[in-house]
Amino acid sequence: MQNVTQIKWFEEEKIAKIVEQAIAILSETGVYIESEEVLSLVREAGIRIANSRAFIPEEVVRNAIETAPGKVIVYNRYGKPAMDIGGWNLHFNPGSSAIQILRYGAGKTATPVSRDLVQFARLTDSLKAYDAQSTALVPGDVPEEIADRYRLYLALLFSGKPVVTGTFSLDGFEPMREMLQVVGGGKKELKERPIAIFDCCPTSPLSWSELTVGNLVDCAKSGIPVQIVPMPLTGATSPITLVGTVTQHCAENLSGIVINQIAMPGAPVIYGGSPACFDMRKATTPMGAVETQMINGAGAQIARYLGLPSHAYMALSDSKAVDYQAGMETAMSALVAALSGVNNVSGPGMHNFQTCQSMEKLVLDHEICMMAKRFREGIKLREADRPKEIIEEGIRKKTFLTLKSTLQWYREEAYLPDAVIDRAMGEKEADVSEGDILKRASGRVAKILKSHNSAPLEFEKSEAIKEIMLREAKKAGIDKLPELPD
Amino acid sequence: MRQFYEECKQAVIKGDSDLAQRLATEAIDKKEPILDVIENGFVKGIEEVGRLWEDGAFFLPELVMGAEAIKKALSLLNPVLAEQQKRNFGKGKLVIGTVEGDIHDIGKTLVSTMLSANGFEVYDLGFDVGVDIFIEEASKRGVNCIATSALLTTTMQKQRKIVEALKERGIRKKFRVIVGGAPCSRRWADEIGADGYAKDAVAAVKLIGELIGGS
Ligand code: B12
């Protein structure tokens, strides 16, 4: 057992009960599957189907939990492992698919265009707390039919980090897979060293749309890791009680894992989610709500109990601006994620109920993520057998500043935040403005964009994915892709 | 106001569907003036519910319970009214649905519930609804409004296609077209030549009331 700081949401016996109940839901209530193709796949595996509902028996669920890998390793485009999703490991990546962009220095949100996607990818590439990038923005300057694949295209071009992504339609999968295969170096290579994760969302309660379940199976067959992302909303599409929603969330995840494992035993799959404590006043899905974080945290504990890697939509905020609320919600949520042992956290940069991505927030959230990681590491037992000696030495020397122990550890014991976090003492009667931190963040974004570029994708590969993209563009009625900034 | 109307109003505010049903039955049995019962009783109730929700005093469950209660009453009163006056109590008819390729329907259903609670005759076509289906259903049902929901940047383009298709068929003027969902805005509505946009269910009721309420 690693020495890690952790939150335990339930005792083990209670988790066993929740899992038992989730399995009972799957076998007795069943799960609705909209796709004929997937229904027959599931039927062939001996599962009873009635009225498009699959009634999954306990042994099938247990078996899927068994065949699903305990961890998922995802590689960057240089062929190096970038994420080891499982155990107590912790990874962060920006929230995906925002509708709007808050550009740095701008006080107003806008519809993202290619240039924003490029900048966002480069920014993410430079920030080390983010082990993966995501297809964070949906571009408004290409035909809508190709928006999903085009954002993956830009992500692959402008950052070497693995990509957390997903499709918007069934036919989006194949071109995306093709591009990944090119960049990953081949079909077999992509299976062995996957460079992307696809989000697949069941519809709560207990239902799979044709699109998402199709993706789930397609990914399994190509060896592309899948994140199951159920979004039960308390009191709206799941029980109002947190424990009830945690149970439904578990059943929905397990249904996805079963289908995925039937399609390809051993396929990489992650127990994930984006549940929310539905707001009964505004009819919204607050990601920053305390209870949303609790459901997510409990989910991670259940995943770990089952020996599965976990994911959650956390470390983000509902605030419309990059302000106090944004920082507060993001920080709390990132910390809860870290201490609950969520392995892959999607969310940084995001605000306004998953609809907006901000460049300044991405830079500020980076500090939150680094701090959360530091919390998770916990108190290391460094020279733990000799504090008395060190103290006596300090008294003797009349300072601790120059002790050998100090010199050995001071850079490692503390996380030293980037200068966007102000650690300098303020002067007396000074002018203070809450906009200062935004200005610092904005400055940092500008600086990074001026100086940082990922190592470019090999020429042949970039030509090959461009060809795929052009083919898709032609199908959508355009014969040119938007000009890209260099 | 008459005591009986007050009771009808209160039934809706309390979100008591059983009581609303009993009162509606009583009104029919006692040959009350049905239109008055609706307008001065039940409708006053749902208006109050909407107001309380906007004030933050009522939460979503109360809002939806109120809507369910008045819907129950209207389902009984409307047929009688139709017989008496050869008309429905209706502020207008509309079709509503989530556009093709989009499976988000929570917001759309909420809007649909609130609209029927407010006396609109609502044909909810569900989600993943094709452009042609919207137009066919709208024509078949003789509605005056087509309301579409889209939650994806990609699928919102279908809202534009609906407006274009109506123009192509020379029937654009027959319908008010309104749009809603997370990626939409008033500007989007203007850009695609729709007649309006509303940000939530209560605003949607107001908007549609202004657009087709008199018809
Ligand atoms: C819940 C949810 C889901 C659920 C939907 C369940 C269901 N039965 O509807 C599930 C899990 C199935 C889902 C799936 C997907 N989702 Co989704 N989802 C959401 C989420 C978190 C909340 C939506 C919601 O229900 N809100 C609560 C309701 C009450 O609010 P509302 O819908 O906005 O409706 C209100 C108003 O907008 C208005 N309104 C709504 N309709 C109408 C209509 C009219 C006429 C009027 C006047 C007003 C009006 O009134 C309503 C009541 O107040 C949003 C994020 C967000 N903030 O919107 C993402 C979001 C919309 N989803 C997103 C994505 C990407 C997807 C997927 C593609 C993911 C995937 N790869 O599988 C799939 C979609 C597949 C498809 N083709 O449709 C993105 C969209 C990105 C983009 N740029 O387009 C979002 C923004 C999240 C994100 N950043 O990733 N999703």
User: Is the predicted pLDDT of residue B55 greater than 50, yes or no?
Assistant: yes
In degrees and rounded to multiples of 5, residue A87 shows phi and psi of 55, -130
User: In the structure, what pLDDT confidence band is assigned to residue A1 with cuts at 50, 70 and 90?
Assistant: very low
User: Is the predicted pLDDT of residue B113 greater than 80, yes or no?
Assistant: yes
Q: Once rounded to an integer, what is the mean pLDDT over residues A328-340?
A: 98
CA dihedral B42, B47, B50, B51 (to 10 degrees): -140
Q: Do B154 and A138 touch (CB under 8 A)?
A: yes
Nearest CA-CA partner of B163 in B177, B142, B149: B177
Distance CA B35, CA B170 (A): 36
- Is pLDDT larger for residue A43 or for residue A430? A43
Lowest mean pLDDT among A34-43, A188-197, A389-398, A420-429: A420-429
Please tell me the predicted confidence (pLDDT) of residue B86: 67
Cα A116 versus chain centre, distance? 20
Q: Once rounded to an integer, what is the mean pLDDT over residues A376-398?
A: 95
User: Is the predicted pLDDT of residue A277 greater than 80, yes or no?
Assistant: yes
Q: How far is CA A232 from CA A185, A285, B18, B113, B201, in A?
A: 38, 10, 30, 21, 21
**From the CB of B102, is ligand 1 less than 6 Å away?**
yes
User: Is the predicted pLDDT of residue B87 greater than 80, yes or no?
Assistant: no
Pick one of 3.30.1660.40, 3.40.50.10470, 3.40.50.1820, 3.20.20.480 as the CATH number of A1-378+418-486. Answer: 3.20.20.480
User: Is the predicted pLDDT of residue B54 greater than 50, yes or no?
Assistant: yes
Q: Do domains B2-87 and B89-212 have the same CATH topology?
A: no
Average pLDDT, chain A: 96
Helices (H), B3-59: 3-13, 17-29, 34-36, 43-55
Please tell me the predicted confidence (pLDDT) of residue A130: 98
User: In the structure, what pLDDT confidence band is assigned to residue A344 with cuts at 50, 70 and 90?
Assistant: very high
Q: What tens digit of pLDDT does each residue of A250-273 get?
A: 999 999 999 999 999 999 999 999
Is B182 in CB contact (< 8 Å) with chain A? yes
User: Is the predicted pLDDT of residue A2 greater than 60, yes or no?
Assistant: no
- Helix/strand/coil (H, E, C) string of A369-398? HHHHHHHHHCCCCCCCCCHHHHHHHHHHHC
Please tell me the predicted confidence (pLDDT) of residue B1: 56
Rg of chain B over Cα atoms, rounded to whole angstroms, equals: 18
Chain A CB contacts of B157 below 8 Å? 144
Please tell me the predicted confidence (pLDDT) of residue B88: 63
Q: Once rounded to an integer, what is the mean pLDDT over residues A303-307?
A: 98
User: Is the predicted pLDDT of residue B84 greater than 90, yes or no?
Assistant: no
User: In the structure, what pLDDT confidence band is assigned to residue A105 with cuts at 50, 70 and 90?
Assistant: very high
Please tell me the predicted confidence (pLDDT) of residue B213: 78
Quote the ligand 1 centre to A151 CA distance (angstroms): 19
CATH number of B2-87: 1.10.1240.10
Is the CB of residue A216 less than 8 Å from the CB of residue A272? no
Chain A CB contacts of B56 below 8 Å? 281
In degrees and rounded to multiples of 5, residue B52 shows phi and psi of -60, -35
**From the CB of A231, is ligand 1 less than 6 Å away?**
yes
CATH topology for the B89-212 domain: Rossmann fold (3.40.50)
Is A211 in CB contact (< 8 Å) with chain B? yes
Distance CA A481, CA A373 (A): 39
**From the CB of B128, is ligand 1 less than 6 Å away?**
no
Lowest mean pLDDT among A341-345, B15-19, B82-86: B82-86
User: In the structure, what pLDDT confidence band is assigned to residue B215 with cuts at 50, 70 and 90?
Assistant: very low
Is B61 in CB contact (< 8 Å) with chain A? yes
| Other Cβ atoms closer than 10 A to A451 | 9
Residues 224-283 of A with CB under 8 A from B: 233, 235-237, 278, 280-283
Q: What tens digit of pLDDT does each residue of A28-63 get?
A: 999 999 999 999 999 999 999 999 999 999 999 999
Residue ranges per domain, chain A? 1-378+418-486, 386-416
User: Is the predicted pLDDT of residue A176 greater than 70, yes or no?
Assistant: yes
DSSP state of B87: S
Distance CA A450, CA A66 (A): 48
Lowest mean pLDDT among A1-5, A124-128, A459-463, B2-6: A1-5
| Other Cβ atoms closer than 10 A to A135 | 31
| Other Cβ atoms closer than 10 A to A471 | 11
Please tell me the predicted confidence (pLDDT) of residue A431: 82
Residue ranges per domain, chain B? 2-87, 89-212
CB pairs under 8 A between A and B: 48
User: Is the predicted pLDDT of residue B2 greater than 90, yes or no?
Assistant: no
List the beta strands (DSSP E) in B77-161.
93-98, 121-124, 145-149
Please tell me the predicted confidence (pLDDT) of residue B214: 62
Residue of chain A whose alpha carbon sits nearest to that of B152: A99
CA-based diameter of chain A, in Å?
Answer: 81
Q: Do B60 and A138 touch (CB under 8 A)?
A: no
Q: Do B154 and A280 touch (CB under 8 A)?
A: no
Nearest CA-CA partner of A484 in A122, A109, A165, A102: A122
Lowest mean pLDDT among A287-291, A387-391, A453-457, B6-10: A453-457
Please tell me the predicted confidence (pLDDT) of residue A3: 63
Q: How far is CA B193 from CA A290, A453, B167, in A?
A: 41, 42, 10
Ligand 1 atom closest to the CA of A282, numbered from 1: 53
Ligand 1 pocket test, pick from A201, A227, A352 with the greatest ligand atom count within 8 Å of Cβ, gives A201
User: Is the predicted pLDDT of residue A287 greater than 70, yes or no?
Assistant: yes
* Chain B nearest CA to A427, separation (Å): 43
Residue of chain B whose alpha carbon sits nearest to that of A204: B106
Is the CB of residue B139 less than 8 Å from the CB of residue B171? yes
Q: What tens digit of pLDDT does each residue of B161-196 get?
A: 999 999 999 999 999 999 999 999 999 999 999 999
Is the CB of residue A473 less than 8 Å from the CB of residue A480? yes
Cα A431 versus chain centre, distance? 39
As given in the structure block, the two tokens for residue A163 are 């990509």
Distance CA A240, CA A162 (A): 36
ipTM of the complex: 0.91
